[in-house]
Structure 1
Amino acid sequence: MEGILCSMFPVWNWVVHGLYLLLSIGSLEVSGGLVQSCGHIIPESPVLAIGSNFTALCILNESCLDFGNIYASQIIWKVKNRVVPKEQYREINRTVSSVTFNDTSSLATPLTCNILADGQIEQNIYGITVTIGLPPEKPTNLSCIVHQLSKLTYPMTCTWNPGRHTFLDTHFRLKYRWPQENFPDCIPKDVNNSCTITDVQFFVNLEVWVEAENALGQAESDPLVLDPIEIVKPLSPHNLSVDSGILPTVLKLSWENRISAPVMNLKFNIRYKIFGDTNWMQVPPEDIDSPRTSFSVQGLKPYTKYVFSVRCMKEDGVGYWSDWSEEKTGVTTEEKPSKGPAIWRIIEASHSPISWTVHLMWKALEPFEANGIILYYEVTVRAKSPLSSPPDKYNVSTTNLTLKMPNGTYEVTVIAHNRAGASPPSVLLIPASNSKAPVKNVRTIPKDGKLWVRWTAPNNYVLKYVIEWCLVSNSADCIIEWQNEPGNIQGTYLKGDVKPFKCYLITVYPLYADGQGSGQSVKAYLQQDRPSKGPTVQTKKVGKAEAVLTWNHLTVDEQNGFIRSYTIFYKTIDGNETAVTVDPSKTEYTLSPLTSDTLYTVRMMAYTDEGGRSGPDFTFTTQKFGKGEIEAIVVPVCLAFLLIVLLGVLFCFNKRDLIKKHIWPIVPDPSKSNIAQWSPQVPAKHNFSSKDQMYPEGSFTDVSVVEIEADDKKSFSEQDLKPFDLLKKEKSTSEGHSSGIGGSSCMSSPRQSVSDSDEGETTQNTSSTVQYSTVVLNGYRDQTPVQVFSRSESTQPLLDSEERSEDQTGGSDSTTLRQQYFKRNRGQDETNTDRPCFERTKQITSASEGDLDGFADQSSQLLGFRLEKNTQEAALSDVLLTSTEGQTVRAETVEGNTPSFDEMPKSYLPQTVRQGGYMPQ
């Protein structure tokens, strides 16, 4: 702790020393109760002219120098807390320092003298306020006027121009005197450029001037010498009155003057105007330049209200005019109307060519034209025809009259009446037709806030023009207004209340002494604006690459001007906007080319001379296919399909035999089969002679198979059934391509030849089905032809005469024979399984006689005609004839010459037909 205090001791020492120094520098010596500073600045509060040089001195007191140890070299000068550059300092001696300013324009207040004492602490010694300004200029334009306040009070007020602003307090004094006498100065009270002397004397010259003074100097104006009587502004006349005279064009005025004649003589000005007007008129000054108190004003309009006012001044014109007196009004008396009313007509369209409905109308006279109150109008209608009736007269108090009269030419006269008399007549000729020359080139121009109408006059002399106009609007009828204009002009303003942004229909008619020309019309706007809304566009028809747009014209109230053009903007969702300009007379437009099956957004703008406005957006989608494209695709496709169908039908018709053969083959009619003619009792019936052969030599019938199925199985001896064991093992092969003991037959379902049951199950007897055919071979060497039976594809049942009694033995001789046959001719039977159905075999060429003999022997054995050769074959035949139901006897046909036994089909073993079997045919 002691170390810290020791380290802080020097700091506190410096603080105490600094405070002591400040107190010593800024200390004040108290002597006799007065406080004395350590220095001062000379001059004290100076007033300086702007732009002049200035030097200030800072003087230090000797007592402060010894006590504070300060000197003039330590003085710092500041202007408004801003340090003055040291280049402007000068140390005169140990106690005096000066500062110099070459241009006081930058000098500001206060100016202070400061010192920088020990410890670099700045201390203020003294400060002064510096005032900067300009000396006063010479006052100019001194003038005085004597205002009359009453008959005996005439104060004089003088004014002058004080000159520039001095930024200092400047005092003005108005001095005046007579040649031998001075008067107290007149000191302005409120402003520095005016002062009033309460009383002056007339007819004595008075000298007047102005003196200006401030801290920087003084100035005087040029003296003004005058007689106050020459600068008097008298009071205006009062008690003004206006009286009507005997004549309708005269009014009498009277008033009182407020200045006595011995003081001065007066002259007057009289002004007047029609009541409600803004333009004043004056009575000629030379008519009233003598002193007076009344005057009669002439040349006024009858029955018109006027406003009057009077003023006065010194008769010789020296001095000032008084103010205008209060205004007074007066009305002139009535006089007959100065002109007849302007008349016009509207002929209503009528379906009858015989009569007209005519609306007569005329304008009320202006007050200066009526010259009084119009009591009534006298209307005379006279037909212009040789044998016309007396004219019709009507007295009406309104300004219109509707008449229904026959079609023709009429002269209409209108006269206005007031208390003083009647007006001149106004005549209108109503011709049957407007056959005279019309005006040309009617056009309008907005001008000076009004609508100016111009036209080209016809070559003939025109008595007058009638300008007819009406406001065109959808909400109201066109109310016609009109005005008459002289025949020697070719343009005029419309005198009605013409509104901006409204459409007017203006028509000009030329009127002649003997008729009138047809009216020429034009539409016009006093001022145009953008349309109130844009057109609403719709689609009339949309195609693949184009769209027909339609819209309605804007109404007159919505146009606000002349529609100069339409612009259609259209775009896709992600495409750029395209603009198309359309004539304003159109209400339909076709957009093309467009993209098919695309959504478009379209809007429309209407433009006037002042701009355009857009209507609402409208969207549509183009079609995917154009007109006729679908038909162009569908029709060829349909035609091609029909052509293909037709060609298919023709092809099927051309190949009908082939199709019939594969789809529904010809099935022989069992009723016409030779087997239907078999009869065991009458075998000779089936014999054919050489002349009565069913088939000619060398021809064959189609192959068929006869299948006989028994209802019940016949029992065989155990010895007889042994041959079937081998067949039973080959059942899978046999079932796939044969039925019974013969080979396979196309177009037939496989049938089981041998019973699958070893126990001797009996089969169900549904029906007896016979598949059959007959093969007739040519006789060999005058031998009787042999008929061989083969399987037929027919499933027709046999005739009753062909059915035989069922054998109940349970076995089949044909099965045994088949088994033996397969053992002998196994290879041939397999090769014959693939032979096509109904195929005709090739004719076999002639063989040797030995072969034919062998073939005859084998064929006789095959067909059973040689019973004496082999008795064992007869026994086999007995077994065959006792076959059970379901067993089949087959014979394959061979086409051509009789083949060898080895070449013949091995479907059947040689067999002998017994009594009860089938006989050879």
Structure 2
Amino acid sequence: MFSGWNWVAYGLYLLLNICPLEASGGLVQSCGHIIPESPVLALGSNFTALCILNESCLDFGNIYASQIIWKIKNRVVPKEQYREINRTVSSVTFNDTSSLATPLTCNILADGQIEQNIYGITVTVGLPPEKPKNLSCIVHQVSKLTHPMTCTWNPGRHTFLDTQFRLRYRWPRENFPDCVPKDVNNSCTIPDVQFFVNLEIWVEAANALGKAESDPLVLDPIDIVQPLPPHNVTVNSGILPTVLKLSWENSISSAVMKLKFNIRYRITGDTNWMEIPSEDTASPRTSFSVQGLQPFTEYVFSIRCMKEDGVGYWSDWSEEKTGITTEDKPSKGPPIWRIIDASHSPASWTVHLMWKAVKPPEANGVILQYELTVRDKSSLSSPLKKFNVTSTNLTLQLPNGTYEVTVIARNKVGASPPSVLLIPASNSKAPVKNLRTLPKYDKLWVGWTAPNSYVLKYVIEWCMVSSRSDCIIEWQIAQGDVQGIDLKGIKPFKCYLITVYPLYADGQGSGQSVKAYLKQDRPSKGPTVQTKKVGKAEAVLTWSHLPVDERNGFIRNYTILYKTIDGNETVVTVDPSKTEYTLSSLTSDTLYTVRMMASTDNGSRSGPDFTFTTQKFGKGEIEAIVVPVCLAFLLIVLLAVLFCFNKRDLIKKHIWPIVPDPSKSNIAQWSPQVPAKHNFSSKDQMYPEGSFTDVSVVEIEADDKKSFSEQDLKPFDLLKKEKSTSEGHSSGIGGSSCMSSPRQSVSDSDDGETAQNTSSTVQYSTVVLNGYRDQTPVQVFSRSESTQPLLDSEERSEDHAGGDDSPAQRQQYFRQNGGQDETNRDRPCFDRTKQITHANEGDLVGFVQLQISGQSSQPLGLGMEKNTQEAALSNVFQASTEGQTVRPETVEENPLSIDEMPKSYLPQTVRQGGYMPQ
């Protein structure tokens, strides 16, 4: 259905026969066009467009209206919206332009099914303007003579079209030029207006779809003036410490407009403003006195003004000005508290008095000093103690008792009311109950339940607990009707000790304490674990509590985690109060890795790993093995000792045979009694009247069962070994002075052993002492150390061919040999032989020979000459034969021949004081 406007366009086209235009992307010469051309459409309205083909293209291109295709922004419009009017005209209808987009094109399907664009148009969709609303105007005072007026309005909805606004105004009989907005479409400023004349003002809006006007506004510009704020504001202190006087100048003449004012003020540093009541400043003025201020306080002031009748607008606030009130005496005494240290002596106190500086609103000036008075209430006769200090603390040494402390703050105007603190001897009153804490953002709330008794005040102490520094106490006083306060300045992750004391009229209650954190975090580090004791199947772990600075919260528990190298990890939870734990059911001789974790409400942290190895043996196992082994060894040793003790004779026979004691031999009974005198030195003369008189060699078989008769003989200590001084040969006991071959000894063995059995013989030398004054001398035997055998030539004497001599013959033999002089030294050794005495029972076999050699050994320590030695020996034998009767011995009937006698050793030459060593 064509609209009237579309038919008009179509008719004009037919009449004027518009030449076809070249279409972009179409044929070389345009074959048609679209009407209307670039229409502006109302959003949501109906719209119909016509595509008209040129007659010249019908025959040339064989193109008809039925072949036309409509598109919106390259999107094909459904054919239900097409209509073929005739063979050259096709229309398309849109019921709602909300879906219509640009461009709208007319296309045709030519030969070969090739789509070709015929024509296209731009479609603009929008809304007509609405009626502007809320028109308001204000006259801004720029100077005393210039008053521009600015009007604003609400332009209404967005039209999606280019809409023009105009501010129009006029007097009742005169119009003024329209005011066109420059940057925005809802405000416009008229350069200057006249007061006291009504002015009609309205706004007009227009676009391609229509026009609209606002309701007119009729007003006198004087009623919409916003004056300039007062200027040149000054603040002066008044006579009273609570009054400040403000003065200023107005920017508009009172003849033009009478003003009222609004005054606001605040304390410097505070953000909250206070205002003077509006009725106090509702009349024109240029000054005002502000009362009710705090003494010695700095204030900030600001002023604004408007038309007196309240019609119009408030001016902006003036620039801020400050002023300080004068001083006044303090209105309140300083809060006071104490800390008592009674650790030094129970009979005296160290009282730390501390008070807070009076706040500026209460100090009313500069505090010059604090005056303290301490009164002992326990003793009324005690004098008052007064102190003037400028600091906020004082330490006193006081005896234990009840005291009343009064403190006064003083400035140059006067003194404050006194603050009184009662210090009782003991905190015997009721404490607070149910002390608790609760974090609130950056504050820590502390609450409690009041005691049943009436409380004047509460004192809240708190300090940050630290292992690095002392707990510095901060405190605050709350009124008795308060049961909770907020503590400010609390740091997160720090532990605080909080104590609350109730103060009564006649004393105070004991403090109740609690530890709290504003915020908690996991510990800064974990605990370090060590082993205190390690066993076979258990280990005692020990650790130290974390320092309070590293906890960052309340330690709720410790967790022990331990495992072997290839085993699963075992977890054990331990109470936070513990510092020691025993791990049980461990494997012996195994390496374990253990670490410990500390946990707070907000997390956990582990300490370093620690390794230990369990023992291979448990307690007592080593003792159980070692003790039986030791006992068995001791038992074996004991049995061996008992066995040896029982077989001692057999062992003694094979290991150390019995050696006869020569001092107990019967040969000691045979000794000449001829005293001999020698020229010994005084220190060597142990026996001045006795001398060695005889030397013999005794041979005893090892297996001989016969023993000598025992006789107590005392050995002489003077018998020492001497070195031989013989030429070219060391002559031992029984040594030959003439270097002869060894002689065979005579043995009394019943078995008649040969001379070769000399390995079991023991040699002895016989020492005979001369009796003192014809007393029987003591015979001493000394063992011979000579191992030199006698020569065969020496064993056979020329004078004694057989062994059957009588005692008389033997005595004669000894007499002859004993009386030899020096000339006998040159005789052959085999001529000087002794007579062999053979014992009847085999008890004694001896062969004695006195050998006086030209090369005799030098006696020990005496240095005697050889002649002296020979003479001494002669005297000895002579004294022995003359002074003592020799007891005859029984001689065997068939004595051994010389050849059958066993070999013996040479006799030792014994001198006083010792014998010759070999």
TM-score range, shorter chain: 0.5 to 0.7
Report which structure shows greater RCO (CA 8 Å, sep ≥6).
2
SS in 2 for 1:346: strand
Q: Which amino acid aligns with 1:553?
A: H
Name the residue aligned to 2:595: 603
Identity score, percent: 83
Which ranges of structure 2 fall in alignment gaps of 5 or more residues? 1-22, 648-750, 755-918
1:274 maps to which of 259, 267, 274: 267
Q: CA deviation at 1:630?
A: 5.1
Name the residue aligned to 1:109: 102
Q: Which amino acid aligns with 1:160?
A: W
Q: CA deviation at 1:631?
A: 5.0
Q: Which amino acid aligns with 2:366?
A: I
Q: CA deviation at 1:336?
A: 0.6
SS in 2 for 1:533: coil
Distance (whole Å) between structure 1 residues aligned to residue 238 and residue 223 of structure 2: 38
Q: Deviations over 1:102-142 (max 9, x none)?
A: 33333322222233333444433322111122222232222
1:564 maps to which of 556, 563, 571: 556
Q: CA deviation at 1:629?
A: 4.6
Residue 519 (structure 1) aligned with residue 520 (structure 2): no
Name the residue aligned to 1:384: 377
Name the residue aligned to 1:295: 288
Name the residue aligned to 2:28: 27
Residue 498 (structure 1) aligned with residue 499 (structure 2): no
SS in 2 for 1:529: coil
Distance 1:24 1:335, change over 3 A: closer
Range with bigger deviation, 409-418 or 632-641: 632-641
Distance (whole Å) between structure 2 residues aligned to residue 375 and residue 179 of structure 1: 75
What's the Cα RMSD here? 3.4
Contact 2:26 2:118 in 1 (8 A): no
Q: CA deviation at 1:505?
A: 1.3
Contact 1:472 1:505 in 2 (8 A): yes
Q: CA deviation at 1:252?
A: 0.9
Q: Deviations over 1:663-692 (max 9, x none)?
A: xxxxxxxxxxxxxxxxxxxxxxxxxxxxxx
Name the residue aligned to 2:540: 548
SS in 2 for 1:535: coil
Distance (whole Å) between structure 2 residues aligned to residue 483 and residue 437 of structure 1: 20
Q: How does 1:15-54 map to 2 (within 5 A)?
A: 26-28=27-29, 37-54=30-47
Q: Deviations over 1:460-496 (max 9, x none)?
A: 443333222211111111111122222333322235x
Name the residue aligned to 2:253: 260
Contact 2:26 2:117 in 1 (8 A): no
SS in 1 for 2:315: coil
Range with bigger deviation, 391-400 or 633-642: 633-642
TM-score relative to the length of structure 1: 0.63
Residue 426 (structure 1) aligned with residue 419 (structure 2): yes
Q: Deviations over 1:425-450 (max 9, x none)?
A: 22233344334333333222223521
Contact 2:342 2:348 in 1 (8 A): no
Q: CA deviation at 1:297?
A: 0.9
Q: CA deviation at 1:306?
A: 0.7
SS in 2 for 1:230: helix
Distance (whole Å) between structure 2 residues aligned to residue 212 and residue 474 of structure 1: 79
Distance 1:490 1:114, change over 3 A: closer
2:337 maps to which of 336, 344, 353: 344
Contact 2:25 2:117 in 1 (8 A): no
Q: Which amino acid aligns with 2:27?
A: G
Contact 1:24 1:67 in 2 (8 A): no
Contact 1:206 1:227 in 2 (8 A): yes
Q: CA deviation at 1:296?
A: 0.9
Distance (whole Å) between structure 2 residues aligned to residue 554 and residue 434 of structure 1: 34
Distance (whole Å) between structure 1 residues aligned to residue 347 and residue 598 of structure 2: 47
Distance 1:619 1:309, change over 3 A: same
Residue 370 (structure 1) aligned with residue 363 (structure 2): yes
Residue 529 (structure 1) aligned with residue 529 (structure 2): no
Name the residue aligned to 2:165: 172
Q: Which amino acid aligns with 1:450?
A: K
Distance (whole Å) between structure 1 residues aligned to residue 384 and residue 158 of structure 2: 88
Residue 615 (structure 1) aligned with residue 620 (structure 2): no
Contact 1:251 1:298 in 2 (8 A): yes
Distance (whole Å) between structure 2 residues aligned to residue 41 and residue 463 of structure 1: 97
Range with bigger deviation, 630-639 or 274-283: 630-639
2:448 maps to which of 444, 451, 455: 455
1:146 maps to which of 139, 155, 165: 139
**Which structure has greater helix proportion?**
1
Name the residue aligned to 1:127: 120
Distance (whole Å) between structure 2 residues aligned to residue 640 and residue 307 of structure 1: 107
Distance (whole Å) between structure 2 residues aligned to residue 602 and residue 453 of structure 1: 41
Which ranges of structure 1 fall in alignment gaps of 5 or more residues? 1-21, 29-36, 657-798, 803-921
SS in 2 for 1:320: coil
Q: How many residues align?
A: 628
Name the residue aligned to 1:156: 149
Distance (whole Å) between structure 1 residues aligned to residue 26 and residue 425 of structure 2: 123
SS in 2 for 1:473: coil
SS in 2 for 1:64: helix
Q: How does 1:216-227 map to 2 (within 5 A)?
A: 216-227=209-220
Distance (whole Å) between structure 2 residues aligned to residue 357 and residue 638 of structure 1: 69
Q: CA deviation at 1:634?
A: 6.8
Contact 1:535 1:553 in 2 (8 A): yes
2:230 maps to which of 233, 237, 245: 237
Q: Deviations over 1:531-577 (max 9, x none)?
A: 21222222223334333222211111111111122222333444443
Residue 590 (structure 1) aligned with residue 548 (structure 2): no
Name the residue aligned to 1:137: 130
Residue 417 (structure 1) aligned with residue 413 (structure 2): no
Q: Deviations over 1:192-233 (max 9, x none)?
A: 111222333444443333222211222233333333333222
Distance 1:56 1:334, change over 3 A: same
Distance (whole Å) between structure 2 residues aligned to residue 357 and residue 801 of structure 1: 115
TM-score relative to the length of structure 2: 0.63
Contact 1:25 1:67 in 2 (8 A): no
Q: How does 1:462-501 map to 2 (within 5 A)?
A: 462-495=455-488, 497-501=489-493
Distance (whole Å) between structure 1 residues aligned to residue 163 and residue 352 of structure 2: 83
1:90 maps to which of 64, 72, 83: 83
Contact 1:24 1:68 in 2 (8 A): no
Q: Which amino acid aligns with 1:263?
A: V
Q: CA deviation at 1:251?
A: 0.8
Distance (whole Å) between structure 1 residues aligned to residue 331 and residue 198 of structure 2: 60
Distance (whole Å) between structure 1 residues aligned to residue 494 and residue 591 of structure 2: 39
Q: Deviations over 1:807-856 (max 9, x none)?
A: xxxxxxxxxxxxxxxxxxxxxxxxxxxxxxxxxxxxxxxxxxxxxxxxxx
Distance 1:24 1:285, change over 3 A: closer
Distance (whole Å) between structure 1 residues aligned to residue 610 and residue 42 of structure 2: 81
Distance (whole Å) between structure 2 residues aligned to residue 174 and residue 576 of structure 1: 88
Name the residue aligned to 1:765: none
Contact 1:25 1:68 in 2 (8 A): no
Range with bigger deviation, 275-284 or 103-112: 103-112
Q: Deviations over 1:142-176 (max 9, x none)?
A: 22222222223332222122222222111112233
Q: CA deviation at 1:317?
A: 1.9
Name the residue aligned to 1:699: none
Q: Deviations over 1:622-681 (max 9, x none)?
A: 4444434555567778889999x89x99xx99xx9xxxxxxxxxxxxxxxxxxxxxxxxx
Q: Which amino acid aligns with 1:213?
A: A
Residue 186 (structure 1) aligned with residue 179 (structure 2): yes
Contact 2:526 2:598 in 1 (8 A): yes
Range with bigger deviation, 421-430 or 185-194: 421-430
Residue 208 (structure 1) aligned with residue 209 (structure 2): no
Q: CA deviation at 1:344?
A: 2.2
Q: Which amino acid aligns with 2:576?
A: P
Name the residue aligned to 1:766: none
Range with bigger deviation, 560-569 or 224-233: 224-233
Residue 62 (structure 1) aligned with residue 55 (structure 2): yes
